[in-house]
A and B are shown apart, each in its own frame.
Chain A
Amino acid sequence: MSSAQVTERQAPPAKREITTLPRFSDRVFRGVVSLMSMSSLVILSLIGIFLAYRGFETFRSQGIHFLTSPDWLSETDASGKVIYKFGMSAMLIGTLLISIVAVIVGVPLSVLAALFLTFYAPNSLKKFFVTIVDVMAAFPSILYGLWGFFVLSPMAEYWAKLINKYFGWFPAFHVDDPSFNSSPFIAGLVLSIMIIPIVTSVSREIFSQTPLDRIQAAYALGATRWAMIRTVALPFGASGIVGGAMLGLGRALGETVAVYSVLNIVYKINWHVLYGFGGNVASMIVSKWGEASFTEAKALLAAGLVLFIMTLLVNMGANSIVTRTIKSGR
């Protein structure tokens, strides 16, 4: 060690600002691209502002009942004045039930499909299935709804009976009378099929980034493919799968037409997932919209705002989880 000289420390110089002058073409391109990406943000905000503006009156007149009461009706009182009661709690609970069913059924199927496509399928088969899954994503939801109504419902009714018979002691599987058709369960099943494409493609993306050296380490220790998946791919992909599931949930929350076609929409709270009535916020809006009075339309827009916020939150959460996973490469 050399003897340290005690000197007055000089203040560090001011930091320089480092700039580069972009080329003109680059600036133009940058302008166009940022304008485009801004536009989606602008549109999204405009929708939110519109819904809030139109729905505001309903929030004021209904107060907290708008979220807590199940009734959605108008009465004429003795003096001939029309009284509106708008509450969306039945629909919120329905949304929750349907989405939970969709996620519980759809996510495992999607993860298995993604594992198959990433680690088992030969290349030719992989391309074929990826195309199929993409096509599934592009299908109009009314087709799922019709299929759900005509094909899935009869089968699902039978499964619902079985579940009720053996697990009826569990409160959610209870039914008051044997009416199993058009239940949240069946709507959730239809939705589970509809969220498969998005959840599968997110999971596939994550699994395909599993570090090769870890995969090889597992195989070199005598792992079977399944053992490798359990110890390497699933832990690596776990949080990404959660993100993918939330993206699926985001889709399930907002799904309208398919739910509308299979579900028996009733404005009454129903916690029994197998029992034949329910509803969700989006399907309520379409079912009421056609014959809504001016006041009711505003209430529907207010319900739309609630849905908008829910979907936004879930999707933002999902996106941040997914990008974090992909970036951190864990």
Chain B
Amino acid sequence: MNDENTNSQGDDMSTSTPSVLSSVAQNRAAHHEANSAPMGSGLEARGVHAWFGKHHALENVSLDFNPGTVTALIGPSGCGKSTFIRTLNRMHEFIPSAAMAGEVLLDGKDIYSSGIDVTQIRLKIGMVFQKPNPFPSMTIGQNVLAGLKLAQLKHDNKEELLEQSLTRAGLWNEVKDRLGVSAGGLSGGQQQRLCIARSLAVNPKVLLMDEPCSALDPGSTLRIEDTISELSKTMTIVIVTHNMQQAARVSDYTAFFLSDGGPGQMIEVGPTSEMFSRPRDQRTENYVSGRFG
């Protein structure tokens, strides 16, 4: 019986149906309702466009992320999900020739307005990347606290912060005895949770995750999903995922992105259970029922 259960929750997209997904999502919503007192900061994208040189990659995306919620960004690859999430903490501008238009408001203030210290923005809006990227020359402990050093922050009790960050990332028990060991020896899933812990150590209000599980095995994926659920009690989370099961399991809201050959657009956003049970747009319906993408 156990086996069956695992199957129905498995990662195989082709066998999933909207009804299964939406019931998973409903469980998630109920769970969230019961446990959370909304925290974190609100983030709002207002008419965001993005370009790479002449290539218009993202068109007019407006999206609200309420404090303490998890929003999943789904859509076929190349539709601008990564581009969009990177505009949310100003990582987009590191790509030469990248440009953007529109506004991103963090607690009501535009993070792109002149006179804003971008390093402060990135401290408040943390990011976890697709590929785990710990600093290989540092130990596990140093990795977790790297943000303090990089952003020149003071902290009175580093030991406590270290333990707290690793605990929140669900990694403490696995590494507490080898904090002084190089981070390179950890498994991929552990490295990714280490990267999450590293982001948490600077105490961000929002956490952006760009396909954080796409390079990981199913076991590690589930652990990270647990971590996300736990974290959503205290912060706002935006997660890009290819995996609709995952979107259903972890998110409160889902936004569907699509590119029809031109710039990517956000087609529809709504509570995750609704997006999977009765999407308003035919294209969303096609996508979530696995008819394309």
A residues contacting the other copy or chain, number (CB 8 A) = 21
Interface-located stretch among A224-232, A272-280, A292-300 = A224-232
8 Å CB contacts to A: which residues of B131-149? 131, 133-137, 146-147, 149
Cβ of A216: which chain B residues have Cβ within 8 Å of it? 91, 94, 129, 133
- Please measure, in the bound complex, the distance between the C-alpha atom of A218 and the C-alpha atom of B122, giving whole angstroms: 10
Say whether B147 contacts A222, CB under 8 Å: yes
Is residue B202 contacting chain A, with contact meaning CB distance below 8 A?
yes
**Residue numbers in A under 8 Å from B198 (CB-CB):** 217, 221
Tell me the smallest distance from the CB of A126 to a CB of chain B, in Å: 11
Smallest CB–CB gap between A321 and chain B, Å? 17
Contact for B123 among A211, A213, A222, CB less than 8 A: A222
Q: Provide the residues of chain A in CB contact with B34, threshold 8 Å.
A: none
**B119 contacts which of A215, A217, A222 (Cβ < 8 Å)?**
A222
B255 within 8 A of A: no
In Å, the complex CA distance between A211 and B89 comes to 20
A236 nearest in chain B by CB position: B137
Q: Which residues does chain B contribute within 8 Å of A211, judged by CB atoms?
A: 133
> Closest CB-CB distance, B112 to chain A, in whole Å?
16
B199 touching A221, Cβ below 8 Å: yes
Task: Known contacts A214-B133, A214-B135, A231-B149; decide if A220 and B120 are in contact (CB<8 Å).
Answer: no
Instruction: Please give the distance in Å from B138's CB to the nearest CB on chain A.
Output: 8
Chain B residues contacting A215 (CB-CB under 8 Å) are 94
Selected contact of A213 from candidates B122, B129, B149, CB within 8 Å: B129
- CB contacts (< 8 Å) of B89 on chain A: these are 220
Chain A residues 206 to 247 lying within 8 A of chain B, measured CB to CB, are 211, 213-224, 227-228, 231-232, 235-236
Question: Given known contacts A221-B150, A227-B150, is B122 in contact with A232 (CB within 8 Å)?
Answer: no
A141 CA to B122 CA in the complex, in Å? 49
Return A210 CB to nearest CB of chain B, in Å.
12
Q: Give the residues in chain B near A213, CB-CB below 8 Å.
A: 129, 131, 133
Residue in B96, B146, B195, B199 whose Cβ sees the most chain A Cβ within 10 Å:
B146
Residues of B within 8 A of A221 (CB): 122-123, 126, 146-147, 150-151, 198-199, 202
Residue of A nearest to B131 (CB): A213
Residue tally, chain B, CB below 8 Å to A = 27
Q: How far is the CA of A216 from the CA of B119 in the complex (A)?
A: 12
Whether A231 lies near B119 (C-beta < 8 A) is no
Q: Are A223 and B119 interface neighbours, CB within 8 A?
A: yes
B135 partner residues in chain A, CB cutoff 8 A: 214, 217, 231-232
Chain B residues numbered 179-214 whose CB sits less than 8 Å from any CB in chain A: 195, 198-199, 202
Whether B74 is near chain A, meaning CB under 8 Å from some CB there, is no
Residue of B nearest to A213 (CB): B133
Is A5 positioned at the interface, with any CB of B under 8 Å from its CB?
A: no
Q: Contact partner of B150 among A123, A228, A236, A330, CB < 8 A?
A: A228
Instruction: Report if B127 contacts A (CB, 8 A).
Output: yes
For the complex formed, measure the closest distance between the CB of A203 and the CB atoms of chain B, giving whole angstroms. 18
Contact A220 B151 (CB under 8 A): no
B91 with A220: CB separation less than 8 A: yes
CA distance A4 to B181 in the complex (A): 40
Residues of B within 8 A of A227 (CB): 149-152
The chain A residue with its CB closest to the CB of B147 is: A221
Which residue of A123, A222, A235, A236 contacts B122 across the interface (Cβ within 8 Å)? A222
* Bound form: Cα–Cα A239–B236 in Å: 41
Cβ–Cβ < 8 Å partners of B126 in chain A: 220-221
A222 to B91, CA, bound (A): 11
Q: Closest CB-CB distance, A174 to chain B, in whole Å? A: 40
Note all chain B residues with C-beta closer than 8 A to A228: 150
**Which of A216, A221, A235 has most chain B Cβ within 10 Å?**
A221
- Binary A-proximity of B64-96 (CB < 8 A = 1, otherwise 0): 000000000000000000000000010100101
Could you tell me which residues of chain A, from 112 to 136, have a CB within 8 Å of some CB in chain B?
A: 123
Task: Give A215 to B129 CA distance when docked, in angstroms.
Answer: 12
Distance A232 CA – B142 CA, assembled complex (angstroms): 13
Among B94, B137, B195, point to the contact of A235 (Cβ < 8 A): B137
**A-binding residues in B (CB < 8 A):** 89, 91, 94, 96, 119-120, 122-123, 126-127, 129, 131, 133-137, 146-147, 149-152, 195, 198-199, 202
Q: Which 4 residue pairs across A and B have the least CB separation, nearest first?
A: A222-B123, A223-B150, A222-B151, A221-B147
Q: Which residues of A contact B (CB under 8 A)?
A: 123, 211, 213-224, 227-228, 231-232, 235-236, 330
Can you name 5 A-B pairs with beta carbons within 8 Å? Answer: A214-B135, A216-B133, A217-B135, A221-B146, A221-B147
